[in-house]
Amino acid sequence: MKLRILTIGISLNLNRRRFLFLSLAGATQLVRGVTSARAEPSLKKVQIVMGEERLGLVPVDYTGLSYEAPQLYNPAYFSETNTSLVEAFRKLSSHGVLRIGGNLSDVTRWKGPNGDFSTPKQTAGIEYGKTYWEWKLTDPSVRANKDGAITPEAIRTLGRFLRATDWKLIYGLNFGCGSAERAAEEAMYVTQEAGDRLLAFQVGNEADFFGGRPLFRQKPYDFDQYFREYGEFVDAVRARIPKAPFAGPDTATNMDWVDRFGQRVGTSAVMLSSHFYAMGPAKDPSMDAAFLLSHNKRLDQQIQQAKQAVAHSDGLRFRMTEGNSCFGGGKPGVSDAFASALWGADYMLTCASGGYCGVNLHGGGDGLYTPIAIGENLSTELRPLYFGMQFAEQFAGWELQSCAVEGEASEGEANLTAFLAHKGKERQLALINKDGAPVEVQLKGAIGVHHAGHAMRLSGPGLDAKDGVTLAEVKAPSGSTFSVNGYTALLLRWR
């Protein structure tokens, strides 16, 4: 049985999971947060102080999703006729970026008019790739046909999907077991069908790990060898498509490769890219909601390294093209629960404040951490992370400005982050409370002079909740001092 849920300007067919889109149903509610399962500690107090540093404009295409390339084995998925998916994409962002790639992209088959470019290496790679767990991130029909192929038909429907959603495309070419000749033909079809929606091609997925995969490359496999082979792919593609855009190096963790790539490519690439997973592996019992919502020093490090790479490049910006809460598919009860929504909102805004030009969160199929899951008959199921992404998307097109969270040492440090932005005469402030403790917030200076005229709240029944997660309008606080309950993200907007 399918349930139709009415939302602002959109309805989606959902089954099994019942989630709500942005709703005006909560417009008369007071600003409250999630009720924690444990007793609330004493109220902590912080002040939000506006800084003077401009952190940059959040691009309108900042929000993105990432999928495994074999999802294209089913042309009906990324298709304008898959209306529930089109609506989910459009509701998430009016100008997002779809990245096709993932670990499976290096073991995919392409079948065009000139055949499938079969070689012993590709045949071995496709066979070996059948053991990868990432097939769970594709729909059931793809999982049942791992000998399928990406075809011109799939690229045509993908192009129509991009036009229906008004999204752009980052397309990963098979670098692991593919060939430059195959890449050139595949890229030609992608360019024809995606048109001006093509943001960039990428050569390989996490090539910094190839040295540990004998099927792909032999040890040692360093950046210089990668860059030579990258150049061969680029030359082959540009022999057919002279202005084909490229990005890279799309590493798993090696930001030194990103820095060196930026220095070497000059203006022949359009963007720098790498990945980030907040925690893992999932089997580690310490990888829980508390860990996910704590301060992540590895993210601090990547942000600093990304800034360095950008500074060393010839005007390129950095995009996080694949990542999520927990590598290896996600942590049950965390990656598929409300904790991931709070994390996602905070993570995306932290990256935006760090100068990233975009974030593509990975998913697909019915994987634990996917923002949009595939239900029966390709129906669309929205997971909690989706709503955290919607919250962060409210900053697309806004200019970020520094602000500080200042608290009394005697109160203990509040696990609350704040993000301030302006657009014209409007200002908005996001407050994300990632702890069960309530926080009393006092807005200081210019942001505390006028009362907010608009407020939205991201909330759920509890950190482990998989249903009942909402992003809804609520009544704005009447003064410059108010309380934000535990496990709540609040957005205030005023002129």
- pLDDT at position 411, please? 57
- pLDDT at position 445, please? 85
- pLDDT at position 13, please? 34
Q: Indicate if the pLDDT at residue 19 is higher than 70.
A: no
- pLDDT at position 106, please? 97
- pLDDT at position 408, please? 65
Confidence band (pLDDT; 50, 70, 90) for 38? very low
- Percent pLDDT > 90 in the chain is 83
CATH, domain range 63-393: 3.20.20.80
- Percent pLDDT > 70 in the chain is 91
Evaluate whether 345 touches 489 at the Cβ level (below 8 Å).
Answer: yes
Task: Give the number of other CB atoms < 10 A from CB of residue 214.
Answer: 9
Greater confidence, 194 or 329? 194
Task: Give the number of other CB atoms < 10 A from CB of residue 16.
Answer: 14
**CATH assignment of 17-57+399-494, given 3.30.1490.190, 3.40.50.1820, 2.60.40.1180, 3.40.250.10?**
2.60.40.1180
Contacts of 269 (CB under 8 A, 6+ apart): 200, 245, 246, 247, 248, 261, 262, 316
Nearest by Cα to 112 from 200, 229, 175, 190: 190
Average pLDDT, the chain: 90
Confidence band (pLDDT; 50, 70, 90) for 412? low
Least confident of 198-202, 213-217, 250-254, 381-385: 213-217
Q: Indicate if the pLDDT at residue 28 is higher than 60.
A: no
Q: Indicate if the pLDDT at residue 217 is higher than 60.
A: yes
- pLDDT at position 36, please? 38
Greater confidence, 141 or 34? 141
- pLDDT at position 12, please? 32
221-to-35, 133, 204, 211 alpha-carbon distances in Å: 51, 24, 14, 5
- pLDDT at position 31, please? 40
> pLDDT tens for residues 115-132?
899 999 999 999 999 999
> pLDDT tens for residues 152-211?
999 999 999 999 999 999 999 999 999 999 999 999 999 999 999 999 999 999 999 999
Contacts of 72 (CB under 8 A, 6+ apart): 78, 100, 150, 154, 155, 158
Q: Indicate if the pLDDT at residue 30 is higher than 90.
A: no
CA atoms of 41 and 199, how far apart (whole Å): 48
Confidence band (pLDDT; 50, 70, 90) for 413? confident
CA atoms of 79 and 155, how far apart (whole Å): 10
> pLDDT tens for residues 218-269?
889 999 999 999 999 999 999 999 999 999 999 999 999 999 999 999 999 9
- pLDDT at position 493, please? 95
- pLDDT at position 453, please? 86
Structure tokens at 92: 């998430």
Pairing of strands 481-484, 439-443: antiparallel
Least confident of 10-14, 124-128, 474-478: 10-14
Evaluate whether 322 touches 99 at the Cβ level (below 8 Å).
Answer: yes
> pLDDT tens for residues 56-112?
999 999 999 999 999 999 999 999 999 999 999 999 999 999 999 999 999 999 999
Q: Indicate if the pLDDT at residue 17 is higher than 80.
A: no
Residue 58 DSSP label: P
435-to-100, 339, 343, 438 alpha-carbon distances in Å: 35, 10, 11, 8
Domain locations in the chain as residue ranges: 17-57+399-494, 63-393
